[in-house]
Structure 1
């Protein structure tokens, strides 16, 4: 046993894999349970819970820029990751107190912590390999698998405790997993140190300057925490603010494209704008999972299989399973397909929209054939999640790769940040609006009363996604000319 622990401590890839696994458990607990916790325990209205959940998703993506900026400049990635996990530990403990005030305080702490540690763990892993090291891809593949195992465990734990509304124990368990993640990074402290970062290159910094950098990092983190805490008090206004930022970023990149002197750079920025719009549509629908879909699964789906009650959180493990299996099957499949056709980003984006449209249309069929008590068969939501998950495989992993192809070196950071803000941040807010649209006419949980609203929403979503897919399919030749890439 001691020898195995020593092996983990000396192997940075394994250290980071286990660290990632435990950190994802606490995130999965909050992602899958917050709406249920707010409505079932804190007696929030469904619309208020959806609004806060939309901001949770938005801030979670948008604040990744925070870690990307501070890490390697003001604090080492390992120190920043540890700080982020400590914030998440206290966040889970505050949320476990089961009051509205402690919930808002806990969410602000958790989101600030998540904004710090997600970019850090990826950078710590990146620094362990040279650019063309063949082990690099394998390490990231295993790290991605560890992340999804963490999600699977988190969803499973959340569902188990939610069955008995034992939210206190659930959030204490989430705090414990975050604590274990912190211990893992401490255990491997010397193996995951920074290399080739601006901070590392300044080893000769005077002690006073190091102190100033530390104080600067803490000040930025404290400022972000206060800002997030304040914005969570005004969910409706903040949602409008987040949407406005997304619109501004779209307009900014159109302006930036027009300013480019080289035609190839201008065309690729315009291609990025078009594909980002497609990504915005997909992720806005996909992010319904922890909001409108979780409430639909709770109240409008027959979740009993062979005498076992399936919790809404466990349903999300359908997605995790498809992602893990598909993550291994998709690369060789793509390689085979590209021997016959140009299977590039535009086609993948269009297909992802078509698949998520099919997923939501299956829910409409399920509602149409619902039982007399209004409950849909579990098979229909299963089919929906499978199609959505395959769509995610087509658009999720390649989004960041797309930026590497389309952006010039001086614009890569800006494009990466805007992709996270537009596709991640704004989509969470849009999803909250869509979720509230389905329940706007009633406060009841009776499926016979809420089914018409859900059926109308899911049908409109399916039609909108289909139209977006058709538009992207028609634009593929034009986008290929703009991008000027050869898909291999």
Structure 2
């Protein structure tokens, strides 16, 4: 007999047992996502012959739509599909996209990416929401649970981020895989792991009890009318219609500009409409969530240079003085490597501090995240002092910067997932998780603009001058991050009042 929600939430120990199958499904999905993300800019420059500026813009557009569609996926999950069906449908679309890219990535690049964008939108916010429902409101163990879940995300990111780009470039298995199909194999690997992710979820979802069921399901904790089948099928058809539209908008980045100028204001209007229907106490919590969301845009705009300008920096300005490893592989997977070891430890640290009433509140954690991010980018700036006359600098020192940035990510991202579930009302959890990822979309969009601006400033210069130009850009980003962190800490008392009983 399936467990009730109360039985699931009354677990003993640090982690609920249901977190492990969700951990593994998310791990393989993130292998697919980060494997593809790591290949985008390098593939567009080396295989599609795009200029660096255009590649950065298209990278930003692709990533922006990935995260923007999580809002749509979260909304459809709340209102029609439920978390489980949304996750499964999203996984299927990601498999289709990966298979299209594996077939002929040069001809069908943007079509395959469009399927992956829509699929990720349905998958990503809903598995995070299910993790949140494993805990009772204000359970101090939730942050530790999300930190563990975040370690799963990054185990997939580590494997996919390194393996896919290394296989595509021929750095790994180059003597086994013929040069003409290396990119096909790299994209095909992403499809294989997504199949594993869905199979794992199908065979373990029965342990989730009532979590993630479709609205109107007889066993659902939230009682509502049964969803007509035509609405469910309508969501599937509509999501397929989105595929060619996103393909066009990613290929033509000026359309992405129009989309981003529009979707944010419309989303806020809809959020304000939903806020008008809740109690005053709930409304204050949603205002607090909105503050977290707005600051996260700046964080991700700075952080997400890893897939754009840092990808070019790794390819052109880094040596192999770290065990002979590929610099692009390290750029894509180094942060994930550190998170795997640090995330569980940091989660346990929050529990230890909480028991002694010393745990910093969430807004302070956010502020610390920005400070570490800034220090990491100062370290990236300092790589110019280790460069030779050809503009080649140390991969080892670059990796230290990734370690510092990782501390910043751990103070913000897993805590952000957790706080969205704590501050949301039950019927808005999917939407608020989607809104969190929509903020990431704007961060990705800003990251693409920043990367394109860096590429423009170094046009026609030597490799050493290019390195110095990038380093100066990273110094400016460091200043913005640290200032934002200080502001967050200063407004901490105000936000804490809005959060009320939520920590």
Q: Give TM-score scaled by structure 1 length.
A: 0.83
Q: Is the 8 A contact 1:72 1:200 kept in 2?
A: no
In structure 2, the residue matched to 1:22 is 28
Q: Distance in 2 between matches of 1:300 and 1:126?
A: 41
**Residue-by-residue CA offset, 1:345-385 (whole Å, 9 max, x unaligned):** 22112111111111111111111331222112123311211
In structure 2, the residue matched to 1:7 is none
> Structure 1 residues 402-411 or 350-359, which shifts more?
402-411
Q: CA RMSD in A?
A: 3.7
- What's the CA shift for 1:250? 6.1
- What's the CA shift for 1:38? 0.9
Match for residue 385 of structure 2 among 360, 368, 373:
368
Q: Distance in 2 between matches of 1:352 and 1:233?
A: 33
1:52 partner SS: helix
Q: Distance in 1 between matches of 2:120 and 2:148?
A: 21
Q: Is the 8 A contact 1:253 1:273 kept in 2?
A: no
- What's the CA shift for 1:66? 3.3
- What's the CA shift for 1:287? 1.1
The answer on 1:32 being equivalent to 2:38 is: yes
Higher relative contact order, chain-length normalized (CA < 8 Å, sep 6+): 2
Match for residue 295 of structure 2 among 278, 297, 313:
278
Q: Distance in 2 between matches of 1:176 and 1:444?
A: 41
- What's the CA shift for 1:143? 4.7
Q: Give TM-score scaled by structure 2 length.
A: 0.81
Q: Distance in 2 between matches of 1:97 and 1:130?
A: 46
Structure 1 gap ranges (5+): 1-10
The answer on 1:182 being equivalent to 2:205 is: no
Q: Distance in 2 between matches of 1:123 and 1:273?
A: 17
1:36 partner SS: helix
Structure 2 gap ranges (5+): 1-16, 171-178, 221-225
Q: Distance in 1 between matches of 2:203 and 2:345?
A: 34
- What's the CA shift for 1:394? 0.7
**Residue-by-residue CA offset, 1:116-157 (whole Å, 9 max, x unaligned):** 222444466677888899999987666544332222211231
The answer on 1:94 being equivalent to 2:100 is: yes
Match for residue 316 of structure 1 among 326, 332, 336:
332
> Structure 1 residues 391-400 or 67-76, which shifts more?
67-76
Q: Distance in 2 between matches of 1:134 and 1:270?
A: 22
What pairs up with 1:172-321 in 2 under 5 angstroms?
A: 172-188=188-204, 197-201=214-218, 211-246=229-264, 268=285, 270-306=287-323, 308-321=324-337
**Residue-by-residue CA offset, 1:176-233 (whole Å, 9 max, x unaligned):** 2223333434555766686653242299xxxx98652443132222222233223223
Q: Is the 8 A contact 1:62 1:420 kept in 2?
A: yes
What pairs up with 1:131-210 in 2 under 5 angstroms?
A: 143-164=149-170, 166-188=182-204, 197-201=214-218
Using a 3 Å threshold, how does the CA distance of structure 1 residues 311 and 98 change in structure 2: closer, same or farther? farther
**Residue-by-residue CA offset, 1:40-89 (whole Å, 9 max, x unaligned):** 11111112221121122222222223333344764465554333223222
2:360 partner SS: coil
**Residue-by-residue CA offset, 1:445-486 (whole Å, 9 max, x unaligned):** 852231232122111111111222222233234433444457
Using a 3 Å threshold, how does the CA distance of structure 1 residues 461 and 250 change in structure 2: closer, same or farther? farther
In structure 1, the residue matched to 2:223 is none
Q: Distance in 2 between matches of 1:274 and 1:283?
A: 15
Q: Distance in 2 between matches of 1:345 and 1:285?
A: 20
Q: Distance in 2 between matches of 1:130 and 1:473?
A: 27
Match for residue 427 of structure 1 among 432, 440, 443:
443
